[in-house]
């Protein structure tokens, strides 16, 4: 990017620079995303072992074995208060990691990897009392619709999820 006569970068060009990339996925008709640095891999839905414990939140499906590591699995539909549906060939588990914590997120369908640019980021409304909004980091307003980019820290470190992992 070439500076102008005063040595400043063009604001327009800065808004078109890629900030990060996000893996997008669908839950029902809504498109969500997770920033790529947190995504470790995408797998199908493996055999899930249920954890018989009354303190496990309703959105924790159980645990799976991923490369000899026990990983808790979150049903993202339940996490967002949506009705559970039968898994099909498009249903995937996105394995995400933050620090030393790895979690599987079951989603309806993985869509694509997007370039996140400043010009697409919209202000996130302060509606934290709505279940899915507490997990939203930011909103992308793009030509093909709105995408809600999730805050993986809030998903992993949400009080209910941490209770079940301890």
Report the CATH number that the domain containing residue 55 is assigned in CATH: 2.40.50.180
In a domain, 5, yes or no: no
- What is the pTM for the complete model shown? 0.82
In a domain, 90, yes or no: yes
In a domain, 86, yes or no: yes
In a domain, 133, yes or no: yes
Which three-class secondary structure state does DSSP give residue 3? coil
**Closest of 127, 119, 108, 120 to residue 149, by C-alpha:** 120
In a domain, 127, yes or no: yes
In a domain, 1, yes or no: no
Instruction: State how many domains the chain has.
Output: 1
Q: What is the pLDDT of residue 131?
A: 44
Q: Please list the pLDDT of the chain residue by residue as tens digits (166 residues).
A: 445 555 555 445 556 788 999 999 999 999 999 999 999 999 999 999 988 776 777 788 999 999 999 999 999 998 888 998 999 999 999 999 998 899 999 999 999 999 999 998 987 666 555 445 678 889 999 988 999 999 999 888 774 555 444 4
For the record, the structure tokens of 150 come out as 């999730």
In a domain, 30, yes or no: yes
Domain that holds residue 96: 19-165
């Amino acid at each position: 990017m070439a500076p102008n006569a005063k040595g400043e970068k063009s604001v327009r060009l800065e808004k078109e620079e890629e900030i990060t990339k996000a893996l997008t996925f669908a839950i029902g008709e809504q498109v969500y995303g997770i920033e790529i640095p947190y995504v470790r891999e995408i797998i199908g839905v493996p055999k899930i072992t249920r954890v018989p414990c009354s303190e496990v939140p309703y959105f924790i499906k159980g645990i799976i074995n991923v490369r000899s590591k026990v990983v808790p699995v979150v049903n993202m539909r339940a996490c967002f208060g949506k009705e559970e549906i039968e898994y099909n060939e498009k249903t995937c588990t996105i394995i995400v990691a933050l620090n030393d914590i790895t979690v599987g997120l079951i989603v309806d369908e993985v869509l694509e990897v997007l370039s996140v640019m400043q010009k697409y980021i919209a202000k996130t409304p302060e509606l934290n009392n709505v279940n899915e909004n507490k997990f939203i980091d930011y909103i992308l307003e793009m030509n093909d619709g709105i995408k809600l980019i999730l805050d993986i820290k809030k998903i992993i470190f949400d009080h209910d999820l941490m209770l079940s992992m301890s």
